[in-house]
Structure 1
Amino acid sequence: MIMDKRAVVWALSLVMTVIAVICVIMPAITGTLQFLIVLSGSMNPLMQPGDMVVVRTMPPEDVRVGDVITFHDPAGTENVIVTHRVIGIEEEDGIINIHTKGDANGDADPFTVTSDDVIGEMVFVLPYLGYALDRAKGKLTFILLVILPSLLIVADELRKIMIYSNPVLARRINREEKKKKRKRRVPVVINYKRLSAILFTGLLVFGMLFIPYLTDCGYTEVSGTERIENFKSLPSVFVFNPVDRTDATMLPNYAVLSGKSAGEMNMISTEPRTSVAVSESPYILPVFWIVALAGVNPYLPCMVSILYPTLLLALILFPLWMQKRFKHKRPIMKQLKQMPVFVGLQYGARA
């Protein structure tokens, strides 16, 4: 299949712009979404220092046990915002009191969150993006990303003004630029056979590596404290989601174990045995992404863990399946026949 490279880039840019406007810019303008930078490790490994957290506003009445919420520090510290997990909710005289705890903390928070302190619920985590934006606030970064490009743009505009003040020189430069544009318009050819071979090889290799994780996923019944073991060599992420959240709760509902290790997960349940969806996947994706995927289907994190490195492999090897299409040169014999020597020989033979 032959495609114009500029058309492909333009189409991708348009799609990304539309997605950004619909999903990010408009909610941020209307105030339904907020973007915060993680500064501490109290929720590690769900979110780590330097990550960016996307928070969606929600009424305090919709908060449930197990949710990760963002709220103002009840201790009264100015400009301090906390994101922790809800471990208990009490309502007294129409006032909602929320008890929270960081996943990495041993004890619950020493304060109580009221409905007036609640900002919203955490809906997504962007790894390392907050660290990059925080670094971008420095003077050197501001000079490199703002001042220097601005000076280059101004210098280029001044050069154009000086050039186009001379009509003869301007026409000559326009002709040269048109010739360069024609030369740069090289369509791109996608070799689907090579791309399919790379994708098939990646799926086969990573599928063989991660198939033991897929066999350990499914549904089971647990009671109280559940012992989990990681028999693999790679670090693994275990996610337990009760089928009915009204009868049972796990706080938190995930655990990260290094290779060849074991651990425990505690469940708060009103039933002696509770049905849960168990998901196990290699720790190659952010923990929040794995937990979110496991909430949809217990097999989904492992399947994405197979697909993710496969796509990375195809992206790294893109020179093998994406090539520029050049004009075919004329055959050598046709070029030789048009040479003066061959033309003279042909006329001599006819004579």
Structure 2
Amino acid sequence: MKKREIIQAVIIFLIAAFLVNSLIPFFTGSAQALIVLSGSMTPLVLPGDMIVAKSISPDELTVGDVVVFRGTGEKADSLVTHRIVNIQEGKKRVFQTKGDANEEIDDFKVPASDVVGKLTFVIPFAGHLPEASKNKNLFFLTVILPAGLIILDELKRIIKYSSPARARKSEREQNKVARRTSYVFNGVRLSALIFISGFVFTGIFLQNLGGNGPVVLEKEYKVENSGILPSVYVFTPDNPAQKFAIEHWYGVIPPANSTQVIAPENTPAKLSTVPYILPVFWITELAEISPYLPTAFGILLYVSVFTLLLSPFWCRKSGIRSHKKKILVHWLLAQSKRALNLE
């Protein structure tokens, strides 16, 4: 087995292992994919986002966790996604919750038995897909038409391989094409594309980087956005217990604007600001690790996507036969020049 084939096999194996590991909780029932319908948790989670809630023991939940639980009263038949703001200990734990976008704490308490799971991931806009599928034209273009093309292609293959002679002939032709075909990567173009896109996206993401890093919060702390895009800010106190003593510890700031954050005096924390082109949930989770990680992740993500979208610019299909033809043409031209004494 060639080195290239080994690398491809390893990559495929790693991707397959990741997918299996991600999907197992859904098959075992320990994780659920849910669609957000209300805006009570904006901007962390927006209406139309798809969230993943993973089952967890109520004893492991702490203040600040975002949980999915069964509603009460008029919302008894629905699930609610809110943040835990207080925990009452006793024979059974009881949680007080609040939506990040709501002014008041929920007027009910959530028993541990009603907790479905903890929010672990957000897929932006994925919840709009079921609604989009109800559009007949869109459904035709995205489902019916591709399915029809696949069926026609399969029928063509069935007819093509209907006789043994045709099958052998087709297989020989495919083997010849496979031997002649290869992919050529233009390293100069790829490097230039990565450099240019990296420069552009770095410029976009670094517009607010100056204020990132350790800060000491006073009673009122002003966070500014001097960029041309909305920005997301996240405060991560050195003492995690102080996070929810900070009023609006994360938020979105419009371009050329600012916001006041109220916090206990002399609260050491880390500030992370990044343009609002990543989901807020992702930014808050990454900022917990490092205030600079959302910026680095955003640059890497957008450069990778941009480079892949422009893959025809730096990767092309090439064949041995066409290469031989080029050599033959060059040789014939050289012989012609010599014959005409042009060299």
2:172 to 168, 178, 200: 178
Matched, 1:285 2:310: no
Query: Structure 2 counterpart of 1:84, which letter?
Result: H
TM-score, normalised on structure 2?
0.82
CA distance in 2, matches of 1:156, 1:207: 46
Kindly report the root-mean-square deviation, in angstroms, between the aligned alpha carbons of the 2 structures.
Answer: 3.5
Partner of 1:16: 15
* Aligned-pair CA distance for 1:137: 6.9
Question: Unaligned stretches of 5+ in structure 2?
Answer: none
State the Cα deviation string for residues 159-184 of structure 1 (Å, max 9, x = none). Answer: 837963xxxx4313430353145325
Name the aligned partner's letter for residue 60 of structure 1: P
Amino acid at match of 1:179: E
- Which residue matches 1:26? 24
Establish whether residue 294 from structure 1 lines up as the match of residue 287 from structure 2.
Answer: yes
Task: Give the superposition deviation at 1:54.
Answer: 0.8
Q: In the alignment, is residue 309 of structure 1 matched against residue 302 of structure 2?
A: yes
Query: Which whole-Å CA distance do the structure 2 matches of 1:243 and 1:47 have between them?
Result: 25
Question: In 2, are the aligned partners of 1:213 and 1:302 still within 8 Å (CA)?
Answer: no
Distance 1:147 1:258, change over 3 A: closer
Task: Name 1:124's counterpart in structure 2.
Answer: 121
Identity of aligned residues (%): 33
Structure 2 partner of 1:60: 58
Equivalent position of 2:328 in the other structure:
331
Equivalent residue in structure 1 for 2:249, among 238, 249, 253:
253
Question: Structure 1's 139 and 78: CA in aligned 2 closer, same or farther, altered over 3 A?
Answer: farther
Amino acid at match of 1:326: G
* Equivalent residue in structure 2 for 1:75, among 73, 88, 98: 73
List per-residue Cα deviations over 1:27-75 (Å, max 9, x = no partner): 1122221111111111112111221101111111222111111101033
Confirm or deny: 8 A CA contact 2:160 2:166 kept in the other structure. no
In structure 2, the partner of 1:347 is none
In 1, the alpha carbon distance for the partners of 2:334 and 2:223 equals 79
Aligned runs of 1:1-351 on 2, under 5 Å?
A: 14-23=13-22, 25-75=23-73, 77-91=75-89, 93-136=90-133, 141=139, 145=143, 149=147, 153=151, 156=154, 160=158, 164=162, 169-183=163-177, 186-249=181-244, 250=246, 252-267=248-263, 272-327=265-320, 328=323, 329=325, 330-332=327-329
Aligned residue identity for 1:319: P
Provide the C-alpha distance between the structure 2 equivalents of 1:298 and 1:286, rounded to a whole number of angstroms.
16
- Mapped to 2, the partners of 1:146 and 1:321 lie a distance apart of 33
Q: For residues 256-292 of structure 1, what are the alpha-carbon distances to aligned partners after superposition, in whole Å with 9 as ceiling and x for unaligned? A: 010111222334x5xx421111001111111111111
Distance 1:197 1:324 in 2: 20
* SS of equivalent residue, structure 1 residue 246: helix
- 8 Å Cα contact 1:222-1:273 kept in structure 2: yes
1:26 maps to a residue whose letter is I
The letter of the residue matching 1:216 is G
Range that drifts further, 38-47 or 249-258: 249-258
| In 2: Cα distance, 1:260 partner to 1:228 partner | 11
Per the TM alignment, residue 20 of structure 1 is displaced from its structure 2 partner at its CA by 1.0
User: Is the Cα–Cα contact under 8 Å of residues 224 and 256 in structure 2 kept in the other structure?
Assistant: yes
Cα deviations by residue, 1:168-212 (Å, 9 ceiling, x for unpaired): x43134303531453256211122222122212222333344334
Give me the whole-angstrom Cα distance separating, in 2, the residues matched to 1:216 and 1:146: 51
Q: Tell me the CA shift for residue 108 of structure 1.
A: 2.0
How far apart, CA to CA, are the structure 1 residues paired with 2:266 and 2:296?
A: 28
- Structure 1 contact 3–189 (Cα < 8 Å) conserved: no
1:346 alignment partner in structure 2: none
Partner of 2:119: helix, strand, or coil?
A: strand
Q: Distance in 1 between matches of 2:317 and 2:230?
A: 41
On the 8 A contact 2:184/2:317 being kept in 1, the answer is yes
- Flag the 1:197–1:150 CA change in 2: closer, same or farther, 3 A: closer
Paired with 1:162 and 1:195, the residues of 2 have a C-alpha distance of: 39
Asked whether the 8 Å contact 2:50–2:126 carries over to 1, the reply is yes
TM-superposition CA deviations, 1:313-351 (whole Å, max 9, x none) = 32233222112222222423756999xxx9xxxxxxxxx
Query: Offset at 1:10?
Result: 7.5
* Contact 2:208/2:275, CA 8 A, preserved across alignment: yes
Greater per-residue helix proportion: 2
Task: Name whichever of 8-17 and 288-297 sits farther off.
Answer: 8-17
| Number of aligned residues | 328
Equivalent pair of 2:201/2:303 in contact (CA under 8 Å): yes
Per the normalisation by structure 1, the TM-score is 0.80
Q: Which residue of 2 aligns with 1:348?
A: none
User: Structure 2 vs 1, CA of residues 232 and 336 (structure 1 numbering), >3 Å: closer, same or farther?
Assistant: closer
